[in-house]
Amino acid sequence: MKKFNLLIFTLFVFSIAAFSGSAIENIVDKNKNNSPSNFLASRFKGHSFGIGLGQTFLHGDFSKNGQNSITVDAYYEYKASYSFDLLINGHFSGHKMGEKESNLTGVAAGIKGKIMNFDAFTPFFVGGLGFYLPQVTRSVENKIVESDSKVTFGTHFGLGADLELNRNYTVGLIAHVHNPFDVEQELLPEVKGFYYKLLFTLFYKF
């Protein structure tokens, strides 16, 4: 009788152990599927195209040969993780001042870091490098001449905030500074200056 009871008890223990092992495996698999990495991959990764509309403020040689004006920028954003995105900016604008003119062209890539997430509101900073093609038509020795067309490297940085309206649309604000390196000229003085933009942005995510 004791041997029979011991056999029943042993089978009972093994049954509980087998059931517990199966349950634990199911929980582990479920947690793997709901892990932060999978959650981030499905929730935060994605592509966005956007536009920025606002004012461009000129400094240096650009302000001496052009006026501040309303401009439009293009943006591309790739959400790489919960905290950091890839942000690419492209822009072109012409700023006239009588016979003189400043033309600004640039393509800049940078890392967008989210400072915090408060519900759908996200303040951020951005910084990186870019390629710029600044040209000025200016007065040199009482003659209106155009500077040489040369591509130069440069830096950019900014601060802003996004408000996610829904799964597809995000609006925001950004103050974006672009600082092309000085462009040397063969015969004329080099072109120096920087500019910054205050923009209202709209992004579409897909």
6 pLDDT band, cuts 50/70/90, is very low
| Residue 116 burial (10 A CB sphere; 0-12, 13-18, 19+) | exposed
pLDDT digits (tens, 9 = 90+) for 11-46: 443 343 344 344 434 433 444 444 444 444 445 568
pTM over 0.85: no
- Residues with Cβ within 8 Å of 164's Cβ and at least 6 positions away in sequence, in order, are 120, 122, 170
Distance separating alpha carbons of residues 178 and 193, to the nearest angstrom? 9
- Alpha carbons within 13 angstroms on the beta-carbon side of residue 42 total 6
Q: Give the pLDDT of residue 205.
A: 93
pLDDT digits (tens, 9 = 90+) for 122-178: 999 999 999 999 999 998 888 899 998 899 999 999 999 999 999 999 999 999 999
Diameter of the chain measured on Cα atoms: 119
Distance separating alpha carbons of residues 203 and 206, to the nearest angstrom? 10
Residue 184: both structure tokens together: 């040397």
